[in-house]
Structure 1
Amino acid sequence: MDPTHLHQIAVEAMRSRGLLPVFSPQALQEAEAARHAGPERHGDIRDLRHLTWFSIDNNDTRDLDQLSVAEPLANGAARLLVAVADVDCLVRPGGAVDGHAGANTTSVYTAAGIFPMLPEVLSTDLTSLHESQERLAVVVDMQLAADGTVSGSDIYRALVFNHAKLTYDAVSAWLDGAASPPAQMASVPGLEEQVRLHDVLAGKLRQWRQSRGALNVNTISARPVFKDGQLVDLQPDEKNRAKDLIADLMIATNGATARFLVDQGFPSIRRFLQAPRRWDRIVVLAASHGVALPAMPDALALDRFLSARRAADPGGFADLSLAVVKMLGSGEYVAAPAVAGDAASAEGNGQGHFGLAINDYAHSTAPNRRFPDLVTQRLLKAALAGEPPPYSAGQLTEIANHCTLQEDNASKVERQVLKAAGAWLLHGRIGDVFDALVTGAAAKGTFVRISSPLLEGRVVRGFEGLDVGDTARVRLVAVDAEKSFIDFERA
């Protein structure tokens, strides 16, 4: 299948799900005009370009949302600064670009390519924290205690400079002792010490969250592989040490952001994951491994089970993680009220994040690709400027609901295009038998994932009795790339 054909399938899938696959001429014109206008720089903006800021991301990432730098303090404590790209300074509320971003609410990452939330002149250029470029940013300045707690934080605007764009694979291999240090280590003074300190701090943050019940899972996603312009495989894109490092830093940053808005008496949009509705099935899954979980949801007990299985069967842990994640369900966005007391009460009633074991959590670290993060940034900047919130409680509720809906639609598009690519790869393998993991079992159908190529399909015959987390042997019976379906029967 050539990329052009797959791209057309993606475009049609987006339109069918209420997503905009192309920018309007007005949005493109407005984005281009930002290049000449430049960002506004009024207000209190600190000059922090001298600090050893750096980024870690995928090899091919061009929309860099955050930089970080750290400083060791006495008695095992540390100061951690995370700079988030100031996207709001070039995306005018109510404009054509903002309208497109508010409609889609997210960048859509398909096997046919990326459909960015913002025009590329912004997301991969003017509002991206590129190496060797100075940019405006919103800085979350955190004090970390020796035990990994965030003991204090401040937020302010600053001018920053990315001294090194590092990649997940290179940093992870180096930290694991499997490769030489990235080339920038030799050219940027203090960078090696920075990355090692970041690794230590991320570990402390992770251990503190896990002591509260944060789940230590390891899921994998499919990455399309092209050769000479043709799709040839879908390979696993696995987590590694550097990806975990950045994730831990961003979780801490998002928590500090949420608490800052509460302290300012501002409303916010929170990321919410309720206790699992299918806890009974998680209990059965654990029992199949000889572990008895409590009858009611218990994050600490679940993480102890997961940690034990990771140690006992590292090769099968990704499949176990996927089964548990499927049974945890999807997160959603919710609006939190402006009054600190009400916010605390709402969180006490369960508006937290079960998987992360956090009550205070607001997406804020990826404003180039997620609309809730851009909304949060506008709230932060208004609070810093002493201005009233730019959104009412009712508007935030509408935005939160729409973002949840569109995130789900984007995920469906991504799965549909991936299945179209997978169907094309499997078109010559009808009758082949695969080992599979059950990833979905509901009235709409029973779904399984195979590992080579890494993709999901539907079990159309013999699915009776199968449930999420089960393993099965399945036979490929039909594929259709145009309709994005892959059908199996139980073998």
Structure 2
Amino acid sequence: MSKKNKIDLYEIRKKIVYDFMGEKIYVPMKIKELMVVLGVTKEDRPQLDKILEELIAEGKIEVSKRGKYSKVQESSIIGTFVGNPRGFGFVEVDDDSIEDIFIPSNSVNGAINKDKVEVIIVKAPKGKRKEGKVKKIVERANSNIVCTYEESPNFGFAVPDSVKLNSDIFIPKGKSKNAKSGDKVVVQITKYSQGNKHSEGKVVEILGGIDDVGVDILSIIRTNDLPEEFPVRVENQAERVGKEVSEADMAGRMDLRQWRMITIDGEDAKDLDDAVSLTKEGNIFKLGVHIADVTNYVQEGSALDREAIKRGTSVYLVDRVIPMLPRALSNGICSLNQGENRLALSCIMYIDETGRVVDHKIAETVIKVDRRMSYTQVKKILERTDQELVEEYSDFVPMIDEMAKLAEILRGKRMKRGAIDFDFPETKVILDEKGKPIDIKPYERNIATKLIEDFMLVANETVATEYFWREAPFLYRTHEAPDPEKIEKLSTFVNNFGYMIHLKKDEVHPKEIQKLLDSIKGKDEEALICRLALRSMKQARYTTECTGHFGLAIMNYCHFTSPIRRYPDLQIHRIIKENLRGRLDSKRKKHYTEILPKIAKSSSDLERRAAESERETVKLKQIEFMSDNIGQEYEGVISGVTQWGIFVELANTVEGLVRIADLVDDFYIYDEEKYEFYGEKTGKTYKLGQKVKIKVIKADIKKRTLDFRMIE
């Protein structure tokens, strides 16, 4: 092709971009019409096709099924900006079907982490992440930011704790509240950054010195805008609630105080909101799941209720609990304490030996727990590893043994239908009295924790099923099927190991995922495939529509069993009680239909905030713990592979990064499809799930990063 033709085609591309997209040529047209308008000959058609393919890949033009080309209509999307320390970011959209949108650093337009933004898609390459630019800031989320203060003679500046806020904040003289260098402070932004200028702010609160006890966790609490102290009005309302259950409260309720029942919780739990009972009538198990009737004390629209809605959930940080309800309620009258009369909402289920619920009754009850037991005690009793304990609880051992049998039946039924069980250990951080981590270990589920889990699951399903068929306004816990693209990618990957996921019309049944997890148990690739399967799942959330729970492989599911610590549970208790009392008329149904969508959205968002905060405090203490172990060597498993490095998880659940720059024995190439690095000369590979040895080389508590180095 001649030089002249190359120049002509370059001009053609410009003409398409500036005229076609600028709407001088605005009518969708087929290729022949387009060639005439652009003056392209048949000889140059292949080059025009190439240009059009490039512009389609860039998301600038589109072609219809009838072969007509047109400008891509610019549409904006509202989402949440997630910053990155390197200047770029992503926009998360509430719609799970839309993947996060990449925002280059030159398209951020002053947005900072957690801002609600309006974004325009500028590139939409097929099979790859969309790229966009921030059109405008819809709502600022970071007016108050936790920082470390640094002072200078005539001014100061504050370095944000969050690595997602990558710019220091200028503090003018007289706006520091006399903070000293190294103090943790809360800064209110008074002027947001524009261009190369830093944001400007003032110190509104001094949390304490950087090394003061508890300041590290307090910083995370403030950063994530978690509520701490209850308003005085709320505390007063909680205190006014009676210390004992009155006769008037018990009137008209089903009296179950003669039923043998126990609570099973962690040793340090104080908010006991579920008790269980079990008897057997012939071949039928009579299982009672008795839940604290919190709604008797938290009236709709009261100060207590409004505060509970704002909190959404209790938050369990490494060194403290931030409760949804004041402790006068959560640890007092609402807690199902041993030997005390308590109001409950009971789900009594009649279950046959196949695990089928053949009948059930939901009732307002009054109960009295016989024994407060711990998971550890029940585990020892079931395994018969502590004879003294067996003798101490001899009156309850037969019931506990029957509970274990029923739990096994329920679990087997659940697994048979295809429920997915990701059995990853949680992290248990042991702190001393000054908040310093002295040990970190995995917290495994055991036979006792699974027993309670099985009973709560069947109660939640039973309640949801009844209210689905009643067609009453309700809050469900739903979990949507994963995106076909992610499952297809997982299927392709596991084929490399000889495993198969059967897809039907690009969809997968949860049973296929569980079959995969069963088939890899004990294999070297177990951790690798488990993690990839988990990453392919969507997040569960609260909805008013009952669309099913993919992970549990059931259509009807809700959260009924924890009203002390979760607002959705408390909310559906109100609906259930109004129905039981015959008050759920058309007016009340209309009321719930109006308020529930907002509560579902708020509860889902607040649940995510709590989970992120919990993970953040665990990560902080993990890094602090490992800072005392610099130079130590450990065995671990590769838990993540990215283009900038390899994540390794140790047996104690701590995860660190081996930076690719520190792999100096070869030049390593990143294979995104296989989640691995391979050496160009040696052929050595590092891939997900592989066991490796590492040395701890750096623990940066401030940046919350942990660096490892591979050991040959």
CA contact (8 A) 2:245 2:341 kept: no
CA contact (8 A) 1:141 1:153 kept: yes
Alignment partners' CA distance in 1, 2:409 and 2:517: 19
Corresponding residue of 1:342: none
Alignment of 1:80-95 (within 5 A): 80-95=287-302
Which structure has the highest helix share of the two?
A: 1
Do the aligned partners of residues 66 and 91 (structure 1) sit closer, same or farther apart at CA in structure 2, a change above 3 Å counting?
same
Alignment of 1:27-42 (within 5 A): 27-35=234-242, 41=249
Do the aligned partners of residues 321 and 240 (structure 1) sit closer, same or farther apart at CA in structure 2, a change above 3 Å counting?
farther
Matched, 1:128 2:328: no
* TM-score normalized with structure 1 length: 0.86
* CA shift for structure 1 position 276: 2.4
SS at match of 2:214: helix
**Bigger mean CA deviation after superposition, 415-424 or 282-291:** 282-291
Q: 2:254 aligns with which of 14, 33, 46?
A: 46
Do the aligned partners of residues 166 and 284 (structure 1) sit closer, same or farther apart at CA in structure 2, a change above 3 Å counting?
farther
Residue type at the aligned position of 2:305: D
* CA shift for structure 1 position 387: 1.5
Alignment of 1:90-105 (within 5 A): 90-105=297-312
Alignment partners' CA distance in 2, 1:417 and 1:113: 10
* CA shift for structure 1 position 409: 0.9
Alignment partners' CA distance in 1, 2:615 and 2:535: 14
CA contact (8 A) 2:277 2:287 kept: yes
Q: 2:533 aligns with which of 318, 324, 341?
A: 324
**Bigger mean CA deviation after superposition, 222-231 or 204-213:** 222-231
* TM-score normalized with structure 2 length: 0.61
* CA shift for structure 1 position 270: 1.0
* CA shift for structure 1 position 321: 4.3
Do the aligned partners of residues 332 and 459 (structure 1) sit closer, same or farther apart at CA in structure 2, a change above 3 Å counting?
farther
Q: 1:241 aligns with which of 444, 447, 454?
A: 447
* CA shift for structure 1 position 235: 1.0
Q: 1:383 aligns with which of 545, 559, 579?
A: 579
> C-alpha deviations, 1:108-144, integer Å up to 9, x for none?
1111221111111111121000111110000001111
Matched, 1:62 2:280: no
Do the aligned partners of residues 425 and 400 (structure 1) sit closer, same or farther apart at CA in structure 2, a change above 3 Å counting?
same
SS at match of 1:232: strand
Alignment of 1:212-291 (within 5 A): 212-227=417-432, 229=434, 230-277=436-483, 278-284=486-492, 286-291=494-499
Matched, 1:470 2:688: yes
Do the aligned partners of residues 398 and 148 (structure 1) sit closer, same or farther apart at CA in structure 2, a change above 3 Å counting?
same
Q: Which runs of 5+ in 2 are unaligned?
A: 1-208, 662-668, 677-686
Alignment partners' CA distance in 2, 1:257 and 1:446: 47
CA contact (8 A) 1:419 1:486 kept: no
Corresponding residue of 1:196: 401
* CA shift for structure 1 position 412: 1.0
Matched, 1:174 2:374: no
* CA shift for structure 1 position 7: 3.5
SS at match of 1:72: strand
Matched, 1:397 2:597: yes
CA contact (8 A) 1:437 1:450 kept: yes
Corresponding residue of 2:286: 79
Do the aligned partners of residues 6 and 397 (structure 1) sit closer, same or farther apart at CA in structure 2, a change above 3 Å counting?
farther
CA contact (8 A) 1:9 1:482 kept: no
Alignment partners' CA distance in 1, 2:319 and 2:493: 35
Q: Which runs of 5+ in 1 are unaligned?
A: 337-346
Task: Say what the alpha-carbon RMSD is for the aligned residues.
Answer: 3.1
SS at match of 1:283: helix
* CA shift for structure 1 position 95: 2.3
> C-alpha deviations, 1:195-246, integer Å up to 9, x for none?
1111111111111111110123311111111345442011111000111111
Alignment partners' CA distance in 2, 1:4 and 1:73: 61
SS at match of 1:41: helix
Alignment of 1:345-384 (within 5 A): 347=546, 351-384=547-580
* CA shift for structure 1 position 484: 3.3
CA contact (8 A) 2:264 2:452 kept: yes
Larger radius of gyration: 2
* CA shift for structure 1 position 289: 4.2
Alignment partners' CA distance in 1, 2:307 and 2:648: 34
Corresponding residue of 1:343: none
SS at match of 1:258: helix
The number of residues matched between the two structures is 471
Alignment partners' CA distance in 2, 1:355 and 1:34: 40
Alignment partners' CA distance in 2, 1:480 and 1:88: 46
Over the matched positions of the two proteins, sequence identity in percent amounts to: 24
